[in-house]
Amino acid sequence: MKEERNIVVIVLAFISIYVIWGSTYLLNKICVAELAPFFLASIRFTTAGLLIFLIAKILGLDLSITKKQAINCAYVGILFLTVGNGIVVWALKYVDSGFAALEISAQPLVLLALMRVLEGKKIRPKSIVGLILGTIGIYILVSQKSLLIQENAISGMVMIFACMLSWGYGSLFVAKADLPKNFFINTSYQMFFGGLMLMIASLVFGESWAPISVWSDRVMCSMIILIIFGSILAFTSFNYLLKIVSPEKVATSTYINPLVALTLGWYILDEQITNQSLVAAGVLLTGVYFINTSKEKKSSDDKSIASVETHSADT
pLDDT single digits (tens) 36-48: 999 999 999 999 9
Determine the Cα–Cα distance for residues 55 and 29; give it in Å rounded to an integer.
Answer: 28
Q: How far is CA 56 from CA 12, 20, 70, 81, 127, in A?
A: 22, 22, 17, 21, 40
297: pLDDT strictly greater than 60: no
Report which residue type is found at 157: M
Q: In one letter, which amino acid is 227?
A: I
123 bridge partner residues:
305
Backbone φ and ψ of 35, nearest 5°: -110, 150
- Among 240, 249, 264, smallest CA distance to 315 is for 264
Q: Is the pLDDT of residue 240 over 80?
A: yes
Helices (H) and strands (E) in the chain, counts: 16, 2
The DSSP code for 122 is E
Closest by CA position to 74, among listed 208, 161, 164, 200: 200
Q: What confidence score (pLDDT) does residue 295 get?
A: 56
Mean pLDDT of 161-176: 91
Residue 268 clears pLDDT 60, i.e. is over it: yes
pLDDT band at residue 305 using 50, 70 and 90 as cut-offs:
very low
Report whether pLDDT(1) > 70: no
Mean pLDDT of the chain: 88
- Residue 113 CA to chain centroid, in angstroms? 18
Look at residue 304 in the predicted model and tell me its pLDDT: 36
User: Under DSSP, is residue 120 helix (H, G, I), strand (E, B) or coil?
Assistant: coil
- Report the alpha-carbon distance of residue 293 to residue 269 in Å, rounded: 34
Q: Are 311 and 110 in contact (CB under 8 A)?
A: no
Residues in Cβ contact with 201 at an 8 Å cutoff, skipping those fewer than 6 apart:
38, 42, 82, 86
